[in-house]
Amino acid sequence: MTLRWRQSDRARLLNRGASTVEEQQAWIETREREGDQNFMISYRGQPVGMIALHDISHRHRHAVMGRFLIGEAEAVSGTAVAYESELLVCDYAYDALKMHKLHGDVLATNEAMLRWRKYLGWSKDGVLRDHYVFDGQYATAIMFSLMEEEYRRRCRPRLLGLVSAASASR
């Protein structure tokens, strides 16, 4: 299922991954042995997406929040699933894992995610020129971070508002 999602058009702006189920399974197992925390997003008992905390540093109290993909967009259209997923993972990172900062990068061509990060109050930390290779071409990424205090003050209230609005409209 995750391989199908990763190979879908919706995932075209994520890092390329495995090309077989066996490769995908081996990659997940390797990353989890290295301490990554991969989460399945479910809606009404059905898997609809994924999100992860990876490259977790307990010493420096930061982690990358990434691998965020709603793989079954039709099943969750008009719901708060994406908002709630980010809210739950951030709460977990800051409350349970005691992280000080979440960070990650977004491809410069992923305009929707760039707007999303900006709206939620993530800070643009820099530009990684020609950082990835996609389809044989170099791609630039934008680095973002979110400190715990920024999450509590700006991001979390916005996510809660989005969850509330989406729930009220259903």
72-112 pLDDT, tens digit each? 778 888 889 999 999 999 999 999 999 999 999 999 998 98
Residues 135-145: pLDDT tens digits?
A: 789 999 999 99
d(CA 135, CA 16): 9
CB 104 within 8 A of CB 65: yes
Quick one: pLDDT at residue 169?
A: 75
The residues pairing with 40 across neighbouring beta strands, listed in sequence order, are 50
CB 117 within 8 A of CB 158: no
Residue 7 token pair:
């190979």
The residue written with tokens 């490259």 in the block is 55
Quick one: pLDDT at residue 168?
A: 82
pLDDT at 127 over 70: yes
Predicted model pTM:
0.85
Contacts of 86 (CB under 8 A, 6+ apart): 51, 65, 68, 120, 159
Question: For residues 151 and 113, which has the higher predicted lDDT (pLDDT)?
Answer: 151
A 10 A CB-CB count for 14 gives 18
Alpha-carbon separation of residue 66 from 38, 144, 160 (angstroms): 9, 11, 20
Direct distance between the N- and C-terminal alpha carbons of the chain, in angstroms, rounded to an integer? 27
Quick one: pLDDT at residue 170?
A: 66
Helix (H, G, I), strand (E, B) or coil at 137: strand
pLDDT at 4 over 60: no
